[in-house]
């Protein structure tokens, strides 16, 4: 294996303007990968940093090639356009990263129908449709991967009942991915999910899961990016149909010191906030 195994590889990612998705894109860009981002953030958000265009600038600065595509993963025409533009710009697709996701931890009686539908449309349907549209390109790739940022299927009632609408949407992402792994294994396409043991310092954690307190007890998106990188450089035939955990992937790769990933340097692992679904 070369020291830059993703050099020249093409990644199509949903979302990616900020946070974990952008961190994964920048990690791949360090190898010289091509990154196509399908995201809605054409102009700055008043409360959230980053647009698809600023993300593209960072990707190029990190050594990769970028193709910002303004679109919505809920829109079939936007998905088709993203696949065709990516193929036209880079000649194919090697990797699909299903990063776009909506979170709402409301209890069932408080969850609106509109938000329920949004989570289903982005998380589940978006994962299915983007992966489906890319399969013809992935079949022609040398080492094709689908990677979805979703959790293992933990049927403990603790998680099924904690926030049923969100649980369904995230588990749906995982089921789509495992289904693609089984259906397209004969084509040599790997499909896996990836999820962290601790919360990750992102805007979602800041705004929805506990603010500064939980942010300080989280790890940086870089740990997710480094683990995703390790998954995507594996031979597709040797790694598919798995619900992977970030820290386990890194440990298998020989990375066992997670201290550098603490959002607040020096925070011991025992004081980090555990993520949900595990």
Active site residues: 166
Strand residue runs (E) in the chain: 10-14, 34-39, 65-70, 95-98, 145-148, 190-195, 243-245
- Spatial CA neighbour of 221 closest among 27, 52, 2: 27
- 6 contacts 33 by C-beta, under 8 angstroms: yes
Strand partners, 244: 194
CA-CA distance, 29 to 71, in Å (whole number)?
Answer: 22
- Please list, in sequence order, all residues whose beta carbon lies within 8 angstroms of the beta carbon of residue 55, skipping any fewer than 6 positions away: 16, 17, 18, 22, 25, 37, 39, 66, 68
Start-to-end Cα distance in the chain: 33
Give the integer Cα–Cα distance in Å for 267 and 261: 10
State the Cα–Cα distance between residues 194 and 208, nearest whole angstrom. 21
The residues, any chain, with a CB within 8 Å of residue 105's CB and separated by 6 or more, are 162, 163, 166, 208, 209
């Amino acid at each position: 294996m070369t020291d830059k195994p993703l050099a020249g590889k093409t990644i199509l990612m949903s979302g990616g303007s900020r946070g974990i998705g952008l961190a994964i894109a920048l990690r791949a860009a360090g190898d010289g990968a091509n990154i196509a981002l399908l995201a809605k953030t054409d102009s700055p958000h008043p409360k959230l940093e980053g647009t698809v265009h600023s993300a593209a600038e960072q990707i190029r600065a990190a050594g990769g090639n970028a193709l910002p595509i303004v679109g919505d993963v809920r829109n079939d025409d936007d998905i088709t356009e993203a696949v065709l533009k990516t193929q036209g710009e880079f000649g194919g697709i090697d990797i699909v990263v299903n990063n776009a996701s909506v979170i709402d931890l409301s209890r069932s009686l408080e969850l609106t129908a509109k938000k329920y539908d949004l989570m289903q449309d982005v998380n589940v349907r978006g994962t299915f449709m983007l992966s489906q549209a890319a399969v013809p390109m992935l079949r022609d790739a040398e080492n094709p991967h689908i990677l979805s940022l979703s959790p293992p299927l933990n049927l403990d009632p603790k998680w099924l009942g904690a926030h049923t609408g969100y649980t369904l949407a995230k588990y749906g992402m995982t089921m789509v991915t495992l289904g693609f792994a089984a259906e397209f294994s004969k084509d040599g396409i790997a499909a896996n999910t990836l999820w962290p043991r601790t919360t990750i310092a992102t805007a979602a954690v800041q705004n929805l899961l506990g603010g500064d307190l939980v942010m300080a007890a989280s790890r940086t998106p870089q740990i997710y990016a480094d683990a995703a990188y390790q998954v995507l450089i594996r031979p597709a035939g040797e790694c598919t149909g798995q619900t992977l955990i970030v820290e386990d992937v890194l440990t298998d790769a020989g990375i066992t010191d997670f201290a550098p990933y603490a959002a607040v340097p020096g925070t011991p692992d025992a004081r980090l906030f555990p993520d949900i679904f595990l």
